[in-house]
Amino acid sequence: MCARLAKPRLAPRILPNPSPSAPQVSPGLAQRTLILLSAAGGRRREDEATREVDMGEDAMNLPRATTGSAGADTRPLVLVVEPNPFMAEMVRAILRSFEVRFVLPAELVETATTFRPALIISEILLRGQDGLQLCRELKSRPATRSTPVLIFSILDAAEEAADAGADSFLLKPAERHVLAGEVRRLTGRPRRTPRAGSFGGVCR
C-alpha cells in the first residue's frame, strides 16, 4: 500500500486594492497624451511622467505652508503642488524672490483660502487628484477665484488648462528664465525680459 502524500496548503494570496492615490486624469486627456507621446517617439517623456507620479509626496519634505508659516516672510507667497522632489527643488531655486511653499493636493484649496497666495503652481498628474480639477475648484470659489493659477505639467495640455480656468500653462521642462518670467508676469512683479504668450501665457 502506498501512502498518500498530503498536498501542501498554499497560503491565501491577498491582492492589494487599487491605490486610491493613483493619478487622476480624464480619459480624453490621457488618450491625447499617449497619442502625443507616440507621435513624438517620446518614450523618454512617458518615462519622465511615470517617474514624476511615482515620486508621490516626496516633494512634501520641502517647506510646506502650515498655520503660522505664512506671513512672517515679506516676499509674495507662491503655493506649489509638485510631486517630483527634483522639480520642486528647481522651482524653489528659480523663484528665490518669492516665498515658495509646497502643499499636498488635498490641502491646496483650504491652504489657498487661508493664506491668499500671489500665485498657485500645479502639476496635472497628482496622486489621488487631477490638477485640472483642482484648478476648476479654485476658480469656482469666491475666495480663490482671482488667484492666478499656473499649470506647470509634463503633459502637453495647454487647451485643457485654459478650459479649466488656468491663467497660464508651461510645459515641462521649461527654461529657468521662462518659468521665472511667467511667474513675475502673473504676480505683477517687474521682469527684465518681457515675454508674450497666448491666453495669458502659454509657453512650450
| Cut 0.85: pTM above it | no
Q: Which of 5-14, 28-37, 114-123 holds the top average pLDDT?
A: 114-123
Sheet of 168-171, strands arranged across = 99-102, 77-81, 119-122, 149-153, 168-171, 202-203
Say if residues 84 and 51 touch (Cβ distance below 8 Å).
Answer: yes
Q: Which fold has domain 27-203?
A: Rossmann fold (3.40.50)
What is the model's pLDDT at position 127? Answer: 87
Tens of pLDDT, residue by residue over 60-93, are 444 454 444 444 678 999 999 999 999 999 999 9
What is the model's pLDDT at position 2? Answer: 53
Check whether 16 has a pLDDT greater than 80. no
Number of H helices, E strands in the chain: 7, 8
What is the model's pLDDT at position 60? Answer: 45
Tens of pLDDT, residue by residue over 109-145, are 999 999 999 999 999 999 888 999 999 999 999 999 9
